[in-house]
């Protein structure tokens, strides 16, 4: 059975996306990225996840503010947190 795409208006997409809390986790502590990559290379995903969480300098900026002011085109976009400067990517929601 084929799945049909459900298209939503811009207002519907914005309401749905605002219901999900998305906040910036902040930058990683110096040297943490290398340790996390080593753990991932060794198949220690849970340890890498734990280190990632504990090595973050919490920011908490509301990323919906960024995600919902960009195009709602279903594409991947880059962003920079205006509070802490962390770079990232996100896939935009799709609206008609």
**pLDDT tens string 3-54:** 556 668 999 988 999 999 999 999 999 999 999 999 999 999 999 999 999 9
Q: Is 34 helix (H, G, I), strand (E, B) or coil?
A: helix
Euclidean distance between CA atoms 85 and 80, whole angstroms = 6
Write down the pTM of the prediction.
0.74
pLDDT in tens, 66-79: 999 989 999 999 99
Residue 64: is it exposed, middle or buried by C-beta count within 10 angstroms (0-12/13-18/19+)? Answer: middle
């Amino acid at each position: 059975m084929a799945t049909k795409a459900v298209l939503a208006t811009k207002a519907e997409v914005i309401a749905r996306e605002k219901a999900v809390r998305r906040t910036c986790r902040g930058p990683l502590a110096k040297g943490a990225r290398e340790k996390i990559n080593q753990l991932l290379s060794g198949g220690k995903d849970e340890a890498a996840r734990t280190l990632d969480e504990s090595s973050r300098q919490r920011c908490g900026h509301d990323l919906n503010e960024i995600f919902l002011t960009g195009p709602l085109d279903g594409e991947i976009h880059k962003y920079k947190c205006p509070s802490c400067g962390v770079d990232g990517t996100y896939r935009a929601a799709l609206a008609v």
